[in-house]
């Protein structure tokens, strides 16, 4: 089976593919027109235990899934994989609060550091909109805090559509380029979501 998902915004290619794979399709090819969509589809296939092949021609990508899905795709489990999924932290801005931007940026840096040093780290940290400027920025403290979180089991997901919008895709320094489907799934699987 083939799906032409060229021109469709995130996360539509992933959702279309997942529906067919959940129905039992064992040979599916999805065509997309950007690398982020290709990477998102590849992660979906691997999470479902499928064999994934990708190819590129004339600026278009084809992602082929073969095999029988072993499980439904889920974001990587956080530190509490046995029971609940702990908590998720959603960061949709590059500052905390609505007052002074410099103060808000410094507060967000401190919040990330505090999370990285806490006894119970989040299962996931989710960056969208202007929040993606943090993992794509030059601030060493932000990078170090996120690296510590990853080493302690936190999934750091960064919205690919948002990176593209701000022209930061090539500048991402840490985290996984992700999509709305994975970010919403991480929120749904969390015991609670904290928004900064």
pLDDT tops 90 at residue 43 = no
Q: Which position has the higher pLDDT, 55 or 15?
A: 55
If asked whether residues 55 and 108 sit together in one domain, one would say no
Q: How far apart are CA 42 and CA 40, in angstroms?
A: 5
Q: How far apart are CA 7 and CA 34, in angstroms?
A: 9
CATH number at residue 16: 3.30.110.40
If asked whether residues 181 and 110 sit together in one domain, one would say yes
Q: Which of 11-15, 78-82, 171-175 has the lowest mean pLDDT?
A: 78-82
Reported pTM: 0.72
If asked whether residues 92 and 154 sit together in one domain, one would say yes
If asked whether residues 100 and 184 sit together in one domain, one would say yes
Average confidence (pLDDT) over 57-81: 69
75 occurs within a structural domain: no
pLDDT at position 121, please?
A: 95
Q: Which domain holds residue 152?
A: 87-195
If asked whether residues 155 and 99 sit together in one domain, one would say yes
Mean pLDDT, all residues of the chain: 88
pLDDT digits (tens, 9 = 90+) for 120-141: 999 999 999 999 999 999 999 9
45 occurs within a structural domain: yes
pLDDT tops 70 at residue 69 = yes
What are 113's two structure tokens? 């550091």
Q: How many domains does the chain have?
A: 2
Q: How many C-beta atoms surround the C-beta of residue 189 within 10 A?
A: 17
CATH number at residue 109: 3.40.1260.10
What single DSSP character describes residue 9? P
pLDDT at position 108, please?
A: 94
First to last CA, the chain: 42
pLDDT at position 85, please?
A: 67
Average confidence (pLDDT) over 63-84: 60
Q: How far apart are CA 35 and CA 40, in angstroms?
A: 9
């Amino acid at each position: 089976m083939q799906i032409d998902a060229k021109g469709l915004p995130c996360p539509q290619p992933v959702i279309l593919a997942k529906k067919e794979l959940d129905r039992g399709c064992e040979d599916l090819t999805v065509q997309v027109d950007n690398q982020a969509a290709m990477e998102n589809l590849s992660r979906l296939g691997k999470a479902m235990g499928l064999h994934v092949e990708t190819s590129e021609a004339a600026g278009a990508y084809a992602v082929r899934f073969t095999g029988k899905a072993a499980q439904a795709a889920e974001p990587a489990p956080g530190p509490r994989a046995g029971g609940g999924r702990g908590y998720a932290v959603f960061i949709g801005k590059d500052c905390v609060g609505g007052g002074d931007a410099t103060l808000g940026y410094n507060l967000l840096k401190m919040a990330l550091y505090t999370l990285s040093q806490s006894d119970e780290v989040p299962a996931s940290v989710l960056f969208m909109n202007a929040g993606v400027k943090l993992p794509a920025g030059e601030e060493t403290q932000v990078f170090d805090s996120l690296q510590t979180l990853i080493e302690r089991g936190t999934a750091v997901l960064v919205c690919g559509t948002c990176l593209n919008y701000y022209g930061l895709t090539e500048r991402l320094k840490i985290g996984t380029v992700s999509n709305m489907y994975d970010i919403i799934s991480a929120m749904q699987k969390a015991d609670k979501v904290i928004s900064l």
